[in-house]
Amino acid sequence: MSDLLARHRAVLPDWLALYYNEPIEIVSGKGCRVVDASGKSYLDFFAGILTNMIGYDVPEVREAVERQIATGVVHTSTVYLLRGQIELAEKIARLSGIENAKVFFTNSGTEANEAALLLATYARRSDQVLAMRQSYHGRSFGTAGVTGNRSWRNNSLSPLNVHFLHGTDRHLPQFRGMTDAEYVAACVEDLRHVLATAAGGDVAALIAEPVQGVGGFTTAPDGLFAAYKEVLDAEGILFVSDEVQTGWGRTGSAFFGIHGHGVAPDMMTFAKGLGNGFAVGGVVARGDLMDAPHATGLSTFGGNPVAMAAAGATLDYVLDHDLQANAARTGTLIIDGLREAAPRLPIVGDVRGRGLMFAVELVDPATGEPAPALAARFMEESRKAGLLVGKGGLYGNVLRMAPPLTLTTEEAAEGLGIVVAALEAVNEEVAP
């Protein structure tokens, strides 16, 4: 493994993050478990960054892909009719709840968000965009510009004129102690003030994650996005919901995360879990917005036949097995268990989540300040115990977990036990 790591470092960029002091190579997987090159098995609570949405080696997905490959056609491009693309677009348009919806397929969430920003700025003839503090929308020039987390931005340059809003930052002194209603009111007044002062003329859109992924699974309180949309609608400003991590029933309470906030957006972007590991992303938007751009467009690889076969089979599996309900059931088991354990663990600053998208924020038990070193220590402890999790948050101190939606109650209990035991071990190391 040390040889493979050395080769990685020799030919891949230094900023390409690797987990763990001794990074692992995953060589096989089945269900919610993976095996590394040493033969060690892990229960996977991060699923390839929320991408292996229904687990590993799923027969329905594998067989759909094999059938497509057997035709000899793995690529033709969008200049030809693609039956699988049309059929999948029909399903997504119907599920989206967006009026007269149309779909454009891409290869990733970054590219999907770029497409949505293009549609919005074209429709509104404006380069001004609203985004959320602590957000993450991708690694390209435009999407980095609407990312509100300095750790994921290489410079201040952007093709867009971006204004960042409050909504997931209740830890700041000016908001501490506020009720949900008071916080929502303060955020809405700030939005009105931004539009009256910082914005010059028309604003194209607000792009927001219903649950912030890289931000540490932080979320706006119920009612905030609905209140924001009232202001936006009055100004003609579009609402783009970034569903790259929250879509397809993961939050348990709604099939798309923004619907759990009672908001019908003008556009939604998606990627990650839909392909269950195959590269697929896209935008679903009002037909008038999607049809508006005058320039000729296509996507060489977006919506290719193999990716569409995988995505179609994945979406059917989610719907046929009611995995949204399973996310609500197993997620509640884990989140409740974490909240029950938290009071006796001073390093736990917060437990939050919806469905199978939950997080534990770690803090210094003496000061209450973010403790990224403890998060790194937890990662090593949980890996040793056979559990893979993710890490993030504005300060790098949040443990992010999002198992496959096929997680059983037995696996949920097993994973919960490992998380609590690892937290206890780290807590004991630093407890005064």
pLDDT at 2 (0 to 100) = 79
Q: Which residue has the tokens 């035709």?
A: 71
Residue 214 shares a structural domain with residue 79: yes
Give CA–CA dist 151/169, Å, rounded. 16
For residues 329 and 253, the answer to whether their CB atoms sit within 8 Å is no
Last residue of a domain, one of 320, 355, 375: 320
Give CA–CA dist 379/368, Å, rounded. 20
CATH assignment of the domain containing 75: 3.40.640.10
Residue 304 shares a structural domain with residue 395: no
What rounded mean pLDDT belongs to the chain?
Answer: 97
Mean pLDDT of 297-312: 96
CATH assignment of the domain containing 357: 3.90.1150.10
pLDDT exceeds 80 at position 300? yes
**294 contacts: CB under 8 Å, gap ≥ 6:** none
pLDDT exceeds 80 at position 432? no
Residue 288 shares a structural domain with residue 411: no
pLDDT exceeds 70 at position 167? yes
pLDDT at 1 (0 to 100) = 67
pLDDT at 153 (0 to 100) = 92
State which residues form the domain around 53.
2-57+322-430
Residue 163 shares a structural domain with residue 189: yes
Residue 175 shares a structural domain with residue 294: yes
For residues 271 and 109, the answer to whether their CB atoms sit within 8 Å is yes
- Contacts within 8 Å (CB) and 24+ apart, 359-362: 359/216, 359/217, 359/393, 359/398, 359/399, 359/400, 359/401, 360/398, 360/399, 360/401, 360/419, 360/423, 361/216, 361/393, 361/397, 361/398, 361/399, 362/397, 362/398, 362/399, 362/426
Residue 88 shares a structural domain with residue 192: yes
pLDDT in tens, 123-150: 999 999 999 999 999 999 999 999 999 9
Count Cβ atoms below 10 Å from residue 73 Cβ, excluding itself.
13
> H or E element: which one contains 186?
helix 180-197
**Percentage above 90 pLDDT, the chain:** 97
Q: Which residue has the tokens 């916080």?
A: 183
Last residue of a domain, one of 287, 320, 353: 320
pLDDT at 201 (0 to 100) = 87
**Model confidence at 345, in pLDDT bands (50, 70, 90)?**
very high
Residue 337 shares a structural domain with residue 316: no
For residues 396 and 19, the answer to whether their CB atoms sit within 8 Å is no
Please state the length of the chain: 432
Residue 7 shares a structural domain with residue 77: no
Residue 29 CB-half CA count within 13 A = 23
More confident residue, 1 or 179: 179
pLDDT exceeds 90 at position 334? yes
Last residue of a domain, one of 285, 320, 355: 320
pLDDT exceeds 90 at position 224? yes
Residue 295 shares a structural domain with residue 337: no
Residue 240 shares a structural domain with residue 177: yes
pLDDT exceeds 90 at position 307? yes
Residue 341 shares a structural domain with residue 409: yes
Phi-psi region of 165 (alpha: psi -120 to 50; beta: other; left: phi over 0): beta
pLDDT in tens, 61-94: 999 999 999 999 999 999 999 999 999 999 999 9
Q: How many domains does the chain have?
A: 2
Query: Which of 272, 246, 233 minimizes the C-alpha distance to 324?
Result: 246
pLDDT in tens, 238-279: 999 999 999 999 999 999 999 999 999 999 999 999 999 999
Cα angle 170, 171, 172 (rounded to 5 degrees) comes to 90
Residue 208 shares a structural domain with residue 307: yes
